[in-house]
Amino acid sequence: MSLLVVGSVAYDSIETPSAKRDDVLGGSATFFSYAASFFTDVRLVAVIGEDFLEADLDRLRQRRVDLTGLVREPGESFRWGGRYHDNMNERTTLFTYLNVFQSFKPVLPPSYRATPLVFLANIDPALQLDVLDQIESPELVACDTMNFWIDGKRDELLELLARIDVLVVNEEEALDLSGAHYVAGAGRAIQELGPRTVIIKRGEYGAVLFSDQDIFFVHGYPVEDLTDPTGAGDTFAGGFMGYLARTRDFSARNMRVATVVGSLMASFVVEGFSLEGLYNVDMQKIHERYRDFVAHTQFDPLKL
């Protein structure tokens, strides 16, 4: 089952407590499509500027990501900068330069219009809505967002939420969006806004899935070398949606497995800067972590 993503393709500047990298490959759609490509074929919609290097696009071409919907416009590419705090779970955005995204009007190539699965990655909710309007009766639509849009484009975001099936957000964003003070309250409150399924990501502590009445807790896979958490959320979403696309099963039971797959994919990307942690991943490594994950979470429910 094909999967379409609209989001940013960007250059990021990252500071962690021990290192600094400027203008590395990033963007919500980049991380998402790379991770999802292990499970299904991915169609990407985004805009880049004249400065974007072909060598960086080759990374996505090597994963057979369909770039028909990626347009190059005059001007500079989207740029984002972030600094991680000592605990690496919190970060401060240093800058967000929309550049070519400022005037972007996505037009879906005809070959994309009947895509059954859609992920509206973190980007202006007005653009997410634009893309959604151009898809012919999708089977499942998921979306991500961030504080920048929750605070800046709340009305458009609420309009979008009423039309989607799954929202994937981090804890801080979920609290901000819902006005709740704790995760369980936030999940249920966001379900009331539209999406039947809500996933709240919690960094190294994993994620919580609210699917209809079901609630499921996933921990983060314990990585030995946490290098750069950037893109973990998008990579999580790529694993989650990629797995759903491959299995074509949107039941609450299968959403649980998809959440585990998302968590595993995110564990690879944080082991390197930019997308480096994903470059050596293959299905065998994914299966190994999956087996580990089952072992880490299984226990005999002995009588209390």
Token pair recorded at residue 122 = 């973190």
Do 91 and 229 form a contact (C-beta atoms < 8 A)? yes
Residues 27-66 that bind ligand AMP (CB under 6 A): 27-28
Q: How far apart are CA 31 and CA 7, in angstroms?
A: 10
The residue from 227, 230, 259, 263 that contacts ligand AMP (CB under 6 A) is 230
CB under 6 A: which stretch of 26-34, 56-64, 129-137, 191-199 binds ligand AMP?
26-34
The residue from 106, 233, 239, 277 that contacts ligand AMP (CB under 6 A) is 233
Query: How many binding residues for ligand AMP (CB under 6 A)?
Result: 17
Nearer to ligand AMP, 12 or 66 (CB): 12
Q: How far apart are CA 128 and CA 160, in angstroms?
A: 8
Cα 166 → chain centroid:
12
Nearer to ligand AMP, 1 or 126 (CB): 126
Nearer to ligand AMP, 96 or 247 (CB): 96
Residues 120-179 that bind ligand AMP (CB under 6 A): 122-123, 146, 148
Using alpha carbons, select from 162, 165, 167, 259 the residue that is nearest to residue 220: 259
The residue from 10, 241, 244, 265 that contacts ligand AMP (CB under 6 A) is 10
Q: How far apart are CA 223 and CA 17, in angstroms?
A: 17
Does 234 sit near ligand AMP (CB under 6 A)? yes
Task: Count CB atoms within 10 A of the CB of residue 224.
Answer: 5
Nearer to ligand AMP, 205 or 247 (CB): 205
For strand 10-15 and strand 3-6, is the pairing parallel, antiparallel, or unpaired? unpaired
Q: Which residues make beta-bridge pairs with 217? A: 208
Q: How far apart are CA 23 and CA 116, in angstroms?
A: 34
Q: Minimum distance between the CB of residue 121 and ligand AMP, rounded to whole angstroms?
A: 7
Q: How far apart are CA 201 and CA 169, in angstroms?
A: 6
Q: Minimum distance between the CB of residue 249 and ligand AMP, rounded to whole angstroms?
A: 25
Q: Minimum distance between the CB of residue 232 and ligand AMP, rounded to whole angstroms?
A: 5
The residue from 125, 231, 239, 262 that contacts ligand AMP (CB under 6 A) is 231
Q: Minimum distance between the CB of residue 219 and ligand AMP, rounded to whole angstroms?
A: 18
**Strand positions, DSSP E, the chain:** 3-6, 10-15, 20-26, 42-48, 66-72, 78-84, 91-97, 117-120, 140-144, 166-170, 197-201, 207-211, 214-218
Q: Minimum distance between the CB of residue 168 and ligand AMP, rounded to whole angstroms?
A: 10
Nearer to ligand AMP, 150 or 186 (CB): 150
Q: Minimum distance between the CB of residue 143 and ligand AMP, rounded to whole angstroms?
A: 12
Nearer to ligand AMP, 31 or 243 (CB): 31
Q: Minimum distance between the CB of residue 230 and ligand AMP, rounded to whole angstroms?
A: 5
Q: Minimum distance between the CB of residue 195 and ligand AMP, rounded to whole angstroms?
A: 18
Interaction site with ligand AMP (CB under 6 A): 8, 10, 12, 26-28, 80, 96, 122-123, 146, 148, 230-234
